[in-house]
Amino acid sequence: MATPKPVPSARETELLELAYAYSLSHGLADLSLRPLATAIGSSPRVLLFLFGSKDGLIRALLARARSDELDLLQTITSQYAEPPGLTVVAEELWTWLAAEERRPLMKLWVEAYGRSLVAPDGPWADFARSTVDDWLELLKSVQAGRDGKAAQARRTGVLAILRGGLLDLLATGDTARTTAAVLAALRG
């Protein structure tokens, strides 16, 4: 039986939050411990002690990003007494995803998603799959008639619309065009 991970210390939590803020603006692909440690007021040795390795730190940062994603999903669904329906939730998700202030987080998400696909055995392992599972589960929870292959196909299509729109938005910065396209696809 695996031993549970100890509760992080206040310093570990503080450094993780600072490293997360750093990774939102600098990405993770070329993460180097020395510049990160300098930027957040620590040292590479402290980061290695707290997170075990650079890969351990990256896994902690990805878990932190995923926590933001899961908080979003919970926030949207908790606003309704009754499930609002797949289209309504998808439109709210799009509004959240497309907000200018979330571009750094969305870029980090895309980076981690892509790395998970090309480096499936590294610290990125299973990030993409877990993200898909999380989003499909949320969409299922708000979908009327959620059972069956047709319902599953609709959820998968909605997720593909959101993900594709997000990639296009991040590539072009054209919020009006991508929003119009996403909303047309969701309502069509």
**Residue at 90 is within a domain:** yes
**Residue at 4 is within a domain:** no
**Residue at 28 is within a domain:** yes
**Residue at 110 is within a domain:** yes
Q: What is the DSSP letter of 121?
A: T
User: What is the model's pLDDT at position 121?
Assistant: 83
**Residue at 121 is within a domain:** yes
For residue 88, the domain's CATH number is 1.10.357.10
Q: What radius of gyration do the chain's Cα atoms show?
A: 18
Quick check: 172 and 122 in contact, CB under 8 A? no
Domain that holds residue 60: 10-187
**Residue at 3 is within a domain:** no
**Residue at 155 is within a domain:** yes
The domain total for the chain is 1
Q: Is 27 exposed, middle or buried (0-12, 13-18, 19+ CB in 10 A)?
A: middle
Q: Please give the model's pTM, rounded to 2 decimal places.
A: 0.79
User: What is the model's pLDDT at position 5?
Assistant: 65
Quick check: 61 and 16 in contact, CB under 8 A? yes
User: What is the model's pLDDT at position 25?
Assistant: 84
**Residue at 47 is within a domain:** yes
Q: What is the mean pLDDT of each run of 10 residues along the chain (188 residues)?
A: 71 93 83 93 94 90 81 77 84 92 87 88 86 89 87 96 97 98 96
User: What is the model's pLDDT at position 6?
Assistant: 72
User: What is the model's pLDDT at position 104?
Assistant: 86
